[in-house]
Amino acid sequence: MTLEKIIEKLAAKSSILINPITVKDYLAYKVEPNFLIPFLKALKESEELRFTVLTDLFGADFLTRCHSRKSGNPEKTTLINKRFEVVYNLLSLKLNKRLIIKTYVSEKESVPSIINIFNAACWYEREVYDMFGINFDGNDDKRRILTDYEFEGHPLRKDFPLTGYTQVKYDEQAKKVTYEPINLDIEYREFDFSSPWHSPTYVLPGDEKADNVIPAKAGIQK
């Protein structure tokens, strides 16, 4: 029996709805959030499969994408806005095989935490929350893990502004680091040093001010 057949049989046994998807050369499945916990648990505990290692867990933001959901009528599907994708990469040391599981949620939905199945998921889920703002039910640790604790927003969201919402500044009077609204002194500049449209001698806008700067001599001056 092929690996695909074993997984499909395992899912059917527990009435878990899964859909095979194409992710390059990897075996991958799409599953609704409410089936995520029983499916991952079955994959880990199955003696035939033993997907016991969570190698990665990450999120992605597809701002305008809709996700098709099957209704009671098998010939009818509904399109629901499912902005966020959460991806689980599993490894079976027994079979030397990798498996990708994907689930999709909207901004108002949460994903069930898998920390009771894979202990390593705790930090992964914290990172996904930090970067995308996706909540994981059952994981109460919402501490920032890549940004600082007072950071505003979630920087990997597609609608997050390039400048962010606040800037960090050392307040000399208060003798501490403070946060304040973004204050841009200049407009954006494009630093494209390898543009095919300009020759190597092209002067970037603003760099003409450096014409009178004396270049440092090579070597150590005595």
pLDDT value of position 112: 97
pTM: 0.75
Q: Which residue has the tokens 């992710």?
A: 23
Average pLDDT by consecutive 10-residue portion of the chain (222 residues)? 93 94 92 96 96 97 73 56 93 97 93 96 97 96 89 92 83 86 68 60 65 54 48
DSSP 8-state assignment for residue 160: S
129 in Cβ contact with 104 (< 8 Å)? no
Alpha carbons 48 and 42: distance in angstroms, whole number: 10
CATH architecture assigned to 3-208: 2-Layer Sandwich (3.30)
Q: Partners of 92 in the beta sheet?
A: 97
Alpha carbons 106 and 98: distance in angstroms, whole number: 27
pLDDT value of position 194: 62
* 204-to-140, 184, 197, 215 alpha-carbon distances in Å: 50, 20, 12, 18
Beta carbons within 8 Å of 37's beta carbon, 6+ residues apart: 112, 114, 117
Alpha helices in 22-99 (DSSP H): 33-45
Nearest alpha-carbon partner for 101 in 27, 38, 48: 27
